[in-house]
Structure 1
Amino acid sequence: MTDQEYDIIVYGATSFVGQIMTRYMHEQFADGSIRWAIAGRSQSKLEALSHDIGLSDIEILVADASDEDALKTMCGRGKVVISTVGPYALYGDTLVKVCAESGTHYCDLTGEPQWIRKMQQRYAEAAQESGALIVHCCGFDSIPSDLGVHFLQKQALETFGQPCSKINMRVAKLKGGASGGTIASIINMVKEAAGDADLRRQLQDPYSLCPPDHGFSAQQRDVKMAYDDEYDSWIAPFVMAAINTRVVHRSNALTNNSYGVDFLYEEAMVTGKDGKGKRMARATAWGMNLFMVGLALPPVRWLLENYILPKPGEGPSEKEQLEGHYDLVFLGATAAGDQIKCRVTGDRDPGYGSTAKMLAQAAACLAQDMPADAKGGFWTPASILGDKLIERLRKHAGLTFDLE
């Protein structure tokens, strides 16, 4: 890839996450270490954002998500494009196509497995030929999970000489709100699945994002309400597990089955060991089921969309973002029975304050830290960014990765 005018182009800078990330990048890269620009479909909104933040030396690029020629022109000026324009299944196809074909690196914060799989099937060959590194899921879903497993497996190899054959991630603490963009992505995925039996089967497959020849057959546990003896607490399903587990298994496949062909991985929320914890686990499990059933029923979905759920562009306040945090515990065991544990924490609202920082650092990693012989294709955070991104997140994004 030839030298480009910009290291990073933030596409969708006026979205909810895009605005948070633009402010962060303005502070983080004020020293000129990263050359960047903001982009989107509305010149006036981009100008208003630039004025509000004070981006006097940051260029504005205009391109609609459906305008392939405009996106080609935009991508031709940047080494890496960050996309925050979701739901990606509705608005993301053309940009991925252009990046894959042009050799422009790409990262986003999608959590839509059905769309990721479609992009892999359509554009993997083009990315391999052009050298483009395409990395989905660079937000709370799924960097903490993917890199947490990567970190623990590296520690297990150094300590025991073999990887963990099983890792359970437990959400010990989580404080943060959901935005309308995330809700819109979930609603769109449910709409797609409601009329497509093949898609419903695909969404049940823990290996749906792995290469077709992955060869994995281990039966992964579908976590429901249960008592976890290892953690000594009641647990409940974790809403992000549906995407996180699939990304982790793809990382295993892309690193030559470095976690093992029978690797087991699951995620759950910790609710407490007493009666209150049991009731909370039951309420969480039932609540998630009822929510998904409600979204599948058109009249209920209409009511939720129009009167209850946040709309695109809405999300947690700045105060809520600053007060948010998360604490994830990874419990690993090798085939020989050796046990190891690590903890990953973040200092902001997971879906927005922390996601914005993770996504920006993932893009910086793609722009500056990749070896010259990195092979183009569809990667995961752990399989292509790995230790280099962990180092950036520790230094600049408020994350910790610590062995317990």
Structure 2
Amino acid sequence: MPARNPSFDLVVFGATSFVGRILTERLVGRIGVDGDVSWAIAGRSADKLEQVATETGADVERIVADAADADAMASLARSTRVVASTVGPYALYGSELVAAVTAAGTDYCDLTGEPQWMRAMIDAHEGDAVDSGARIVHACGFDSIPSDLGVWFTQQQAIERFGAPCTSIALRVKAMKGGASGGTIASGLNLIEEARSDPALRKILGNPYALAPDGMREGPKQPNVGRPQRDAASGQWAAPFIMAATNTRVVQRSHALLGRPWGDDFEYDEAMLVGDGPMGAVRGSVVAGGMAAFAGMAAFGPTRKLLGTFLPDPGEGPSPEAQEAGFYDLRLYGETADGRTIVTKVTGDRDPGYGSTAKMLAESALAFLDLPAADVAGGFWTPATAFGDRLIDRLVEHAGLTFDVLEPE
């Protein structure tokens, strides 16, 4: 690779999107506009970029670039050390940029929760990223940092206390408050549409090891909470968690990239806690039924159009007040091979999908700037395998997250 002399440390691509605006405003408060980190905002509309700059105070350079323009993406990738992308659905708008950063040797992070697209990017570009030195980390928002780093944290704590890792971990959503943006909904609808017409894709989506490196995409059957059930880990009723299909795949990729140190039979699953007693069972049925109804409506054209009449459009999302009022409280229940148990907690102080996600993406992007190539080489990584404790420390100090051990005390 020829020597690079990028103009910027960081470029936010998609600054005019809903979460891109939040991220831009976050960076203004976090690193300023004329500090040690040089950065720019990018998007396809000069007018909208100007509006974002004015509204957020981001008096930084504006780069006009369209996600579908390969030459523009190549120029953007060469201009910076790190790209943070909020342009989704990534399966529709993200591929040219990943190809560009791979070729340029530029570090990259995003917010995708689309496992089919992550798999396609890994398969298409892993070798080139290793060669160029580009470090690519998908899923740097609520998909899937709390899960991936929560498991990492739990395992480090188990090893410290017990001298052995957990062979099973169950993440349970104890409480959560927050809304969804139109961009996230559009990504989910696109995934359902792709899967409806592609049996091979449905097979990939059904494989819990789908994101593992080639040659490691098989393993023991994984637990899956697909219906309301009494939860052995917590003792409460549990219901399906909509983000589990992405988060579990990311965690299993982390485990594979690490060399499967937690055992070839390591089990991981996610679910929502919905309470105890008869009302817990009722709430679980309501959650599961609602998810099934949404998926069914989204799978067919006429009902998908009907959904569009009352769901937010891309660019829309929770108000600033709703973002600040949001939060999440996740519990991880781990058990070692000899039956010892550990319970940890991960919390966030903002709406999970937007207020907290923007802070997580900001810290992920900034973490690249202090990440020596000697420590993490080029390739496709996960939040845990790229950053590990480095990112946990950043999230605790700057992003309103906590990571704590509840049991044993």
Instruction: Report the TM-score when normalising by structure 1.
Output: 0.97
Q: Is the 8 A contact 2:168 2:336 kept in 1?
A: yes
Shift of 1:229: 3.4
Q: Give the AA of the match of 1:262.
A: D
Q: Is the 8 A contact 1:216 1:261 kept in 2?
A: no
Q: What residue is the counterpart of 1:320 in the other structure?
A: 322
**3-state secondary structure, aligned to 1:90:** helix
- 1:270 pairs with 2:273: yes
Instruction: Select between 267-276 and 168-177 the one with higher mean Cα deviation.
Output: 267-276
- 1:49 pairs with 2:49: no
Q: Hey, what's the Cα distance between the residues in 2 that align with 1:370 and 1:278?
A: 50
2:18 to 3, 16, 19: 16
Deviations, residues 72-129 of structure 1 (Å, cap 9, x unaligned): 2111111000110000000000000000111000000000000110011111111010
Deviations, residues 139-160 of structure 1 (Å, cap 9, x unaligned): 0000000000000001111111
- 1:236 pairs with 2:203: no
Shift of 1:21: 0.6
Instruction: Report the TM-score when normalising by structure 2.
Output: 0.96
1:35 to 35, 38, 45: 38
Deviations, residues 200-259 of structure 1 (Å, cap 9, x unaligned): 111111011111211642111120210113312111000000000000000000001122
Q: What residue is the counterpart of 2:120 in the other structure?
A: 118
Q: Is the 8 A contact 1:252 1:260 kept in 2?
A: no
Structure 2 stretches lacking a partner, 5+ long: none
Q: What residue is the counterpart of 1:248 in the other structure?
A: 251
- 1:259 pairs with 2:262: yes
- 1:94 pairs with 2:96: yes
Q: What residue is the counterpart of 2:383 in the other structure?
A: 381
Instruction: Select between 24-33 and 63-72 the one with higher mean Cα deviation.
Output: 24-33
Deviations, residues 343-394 of structure 1 (Å, cap 9, x unaligned): 0000000000000000010000012233435211111000111110000000
Q: Is the 8 A contact 1:245 1:265 kept in 2?
A: yes
Q: What residue is the counterpart of 1:367 in the other structure?
A: 369
Q: Is the 8 A contact 1:164 1:259 kept in 2?
A: yes
Q: What residue is the counterpart of 1:166 in the other structure?
A: 168
Shift of 1:4: 2.7
**3-state secondary structure, aligned to 2:143:** coil
Q: Hey, what's the Cα distance between the residues in 2 that align with 1:170 and 1:115?
A: 26
Q: Hey, what's the Cα distance between the residues in 1 that align with 2:58 and 2:238?
A: 45
Q: What residue is the counterpart of 2:199 in the other structure?
A: 197
Q: What residue is the counterpart of 1:68 in the other structure?
A: 70
Q: Give the AA of the match of 1:63.
A: A
1:206 to 202, 208, 224: 208
Q: Identical aligned pairs, as a percentage?
A: 52
Q: Hey, what's the Cα distance between the residues in 1 that align with 2:262 and 2:109?
A: 24
Q: Hey, what's the Cα distance between the residues in 2 that align with 1:336 and 1:215?
A: 27
Q: Hey, what's the Cα distance between the residues in 2 that align with 1:253 and 1:174?
A: 29
Q: Is the 8 A contact 2:180 2:353 kept in 1?
A: yes
Q: What residue is the counterpart of 2:356 in the other structure?
A: 354
Change in CA separation of 1:215 and 1:121 when aligned onto 2, cut-off 3 Å = closer
After TM superposition, the runs of 4+ consecutive aligned structure 1 residues lying more than 3 A away are 370-373
Q: Give the AA of the match of 2:171.
A: M
Instruction: Select between 61-70 and 17-26 the one with higher mean Cα deviation.
Output: 61-70
Q: Is the 8 A contact 1:216 1:262 kept in 2?
A: no
**3-state secondary structure, aligned to 2:87:** coil
Q: What residue is the counterpart of 2:135 in the other structure?
A: 133
Shift of 1:274: 2.2
**3-state secondary structure, aligned to 1:213:** coil
Q: Give the AA of the match of 2:201.
A: L
The alignment's C-alpha RMSD in Å is 1.2
Q: Hey, what's the Cα distance between the residues in 1 that align with 2:217 and 2:305?
A: 41
Q: Give the AA of the match of 2:288.
A: A
Q: What residue is the counterpart of 1:143 in the other structure?
A: 145
**3-state secondary structure, aligned to 2:354:** helix
Q: Hey, what's the Cα distance between the residues in 1 that align with 2:217 and 2:379?
A: 20
Q: What residue is the counterpart of 1:393 in the other structure?
A: 395
Q: Is the 8 A contact 2:21 2:56 kept in 1?
A: no
Q: Give the AA of the match of 2:41.
A: I
Change in CA separation of 1:124 and 1:234 when aligned onto 2, cut-off 3 Å = same
Q: Give the AA of the match of 2:243.
A: M
Deviations, residues 20-52 of structure 1 (Å, cap 9, x unaligned): 010010000027242211011111110111112
Q: Hey, what's the Cα distance between the residues in 1 that align with 2:304 and 2:213?
A: 34
**3-state secondary structure, aligned to 2:42:** strand
Q: Hey, what's the Cα distance between the residues in 2 that align with 1:73 and 1:198?
A: 34
